């Protein structure tokens, strides 16, 4: 299914301004869902933020803040929280999906009866579903149909920086003619810039795999291995992302852009990165169980790590994949407890010598 939708050219058949100032449903009240609600409301759009917990819903509506995520930012009056899908989707024109990938299938299945056949969906989630090994484009298509108008946003975009209105650039991918440009026109401002591409697979792979590379980068930091090691690890990690993306039919240009190298750099070096922080704490000797139990934020790279190894095995029949994708395979082994972070990173330095590719 992944290979079947590698893309066509974006045609400007949808009017980017046709539904300006429309109502959005944002599915998911985590950090990125809240940041997107803030971004949309500041541009004059009504937003219904569909959340799970009644107490969070009440606090957003009464105190204008989410007590669990980005609590320092006040929601404009155009944002309303609700736990009722029927209420959220009433007279809505667009939907943004901001639920972590591992919980997306259940969330989308619940709201599917309320999604109109022509309602454009913008996915903000990055990762690979465990078990099915589905990227969000496959998962979303499986639930609402492959022909449903949908687009996928990715790039170096931390939720807190978006909420703080710091300059951010992203890329939006879609196979629906003109839809990427339509969403781009809606979201873009003097602090939020959108680029477009038809390469959905490239955008999805870059956004998913960078979280795994960030865990490795964090371990490098936690172990105190220095700048040289960090730079080498991130660069070679980008090479592994490119190999996988090309095997799935993506474009190398996409992996060299915002959703690939750009997002990888931001996640590996940015202090706000949850995945990087998981790696730092692993490198400092904490157990994965302790780290995950101490946070209410989801680090997608942990679940994605094991899935990406299985995805590689399915789509690349080369001999010794552990040598072709040593960082991705190495992180999976560390998260499974088969190696310590120090053993895993030492193994990278003692691999057979080879030509750089």
The β-bridge relationship of strands 150-154 and 23-27 is: unpaired
Tell whether residue 189 is among the known ligand binding residues: no
Is 44 annotated to bind a ligand? Reply is no
Answer yes or no: is 37 a known binding residue: no
In degrees and rounded to multiples of 5, residue 337 shows phi and psi of 80, 15
Number of H helices and number of E strands within the chain? Answer: 17, 8
Q: Which of 68, 95, 297, 56 is nearest to 179 (CA)?
A: 95
Please indicate if the annotation marks 152 as binding a ligand.
Answer: no
Considering all CA atoms of the chain, what is the largest pairwise distance in Å, rounded to the nearest integer?
61
Cα(290)–Cα(151) distance, integer angstroms: 36
Compute the radius of gyration of the chain from its Cα atoms. 20
CB 122 within 8 A of CB 183: yes
28 labeled part of a ligand binding site: yes
CB-based burial label for 284 (10 Å; 0-12, 13-18, 19+):
middle
- Which of 43, 210, 324, 338 is catalytic? The answer is 210
**Residue 131, marked binder:** no
The CB density around residue 353, as the number of other CB atoms within 10 Å, is 4
Residue 127 annotated as binding site? no
Determine contact, residues 95/121, Cβ cutoff 8 Å: yes
The answer to whether the annotation marks 31 as part of a ligand binding site is yes
Residue ranges of E strands in the chain: 23-27, 46-50, 79-82, 94-97, 121-123, 150-154, 168-174, 192-197
274 among annotated binding-site residues: yes
Is position 210 annotated as part of the catalytic site?
A: yes
Please give the backbone phi and psi of residue 10, each rounded to the nearest 5 degrees, phi first.
-75, 125
Q: Is 89 annotated as a binding residue?
A: no
23 is in an annotated binding site: no
Q: Residues annotated as binding site?
A: 28-33, 103, 126, 159, 274-275
Residues labelled as active-site residues: 210
Q: Residues annotated as binding site for NAD(+)?
A: 28-33, 103, 159, 274
Q: Residues annotated as binding site for substrate?
A: 126, 274-275
């Amino acid at each position: 299914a992944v290979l079947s939708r590698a893309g066509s050219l974006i045609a400007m058949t949808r009017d980017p301004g046709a539904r300006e100032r429309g109502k959005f449903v944002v599915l998911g009240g985590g950090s990125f869902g809240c940041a997107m609600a803030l971004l949309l409301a500041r541009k004059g759009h009504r937003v219904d933020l569909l959340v799970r917990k009644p107490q969070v819903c009440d606090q957003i509506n009464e105190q204008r803040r989410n007590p669990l995520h980005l609590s320092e930012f006040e929601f404009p009056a155009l944002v309303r929280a609700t736990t009722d899908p029927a209420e959220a989707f009433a007279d809505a024109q667009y939907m943004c999906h901001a639920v972590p990938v591992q919980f997306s299938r259940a969330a989308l299945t619940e709201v599917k009866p309320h999604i109109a056949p022509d309602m454009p969906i913008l996915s903000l989630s990055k990762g690979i579903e465990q078990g099915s090994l589905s990227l969000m484009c496959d998962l979303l298509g499986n639930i609402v149909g492959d022909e449903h108008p949908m687009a996928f946003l990715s790039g170096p975009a931390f939720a807190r920086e978006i909420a703080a209105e710091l300059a951010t650039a992203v890329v939006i991918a879609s196979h629906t003619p003109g839809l990427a440009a339509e969403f781009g026109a809606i979201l873009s401002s003097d602090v939020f810039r959108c680029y477009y591409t038809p390469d959905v697979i490239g955008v999805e792979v870059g956004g998913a795999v960078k979280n795994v590379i960030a865990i490795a980068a964090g371990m490098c930091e936690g172990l105190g291995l220095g700048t040289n090691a960090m730079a080498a690890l991130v660069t070679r990690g980008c090479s592994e992302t490119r190999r996988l993306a090309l095997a799935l039919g993506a474009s190398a240009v996409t992996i060299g852009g915002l959703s690939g190298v750009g997002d990888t750099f931001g996640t590996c070096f940015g202090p706000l990165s949850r995945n990087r922080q998981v790696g730092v704490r692993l490198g400092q000797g904490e157990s994965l169980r302790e780290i995950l139990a101490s946070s209410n934020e989801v680090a997608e790279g942990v679940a994605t790590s094991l899935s990406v190894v299985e995805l590689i095995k399915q789509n690349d029949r080369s001999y010794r994949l552990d040598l072709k994708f040593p960082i991705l395979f190495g992180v999976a082994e560390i998260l499974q407890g088969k190696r310590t972070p120090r053993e895993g990173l030492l193994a990278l330095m003692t691999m057979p010598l080879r030509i750089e590719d």
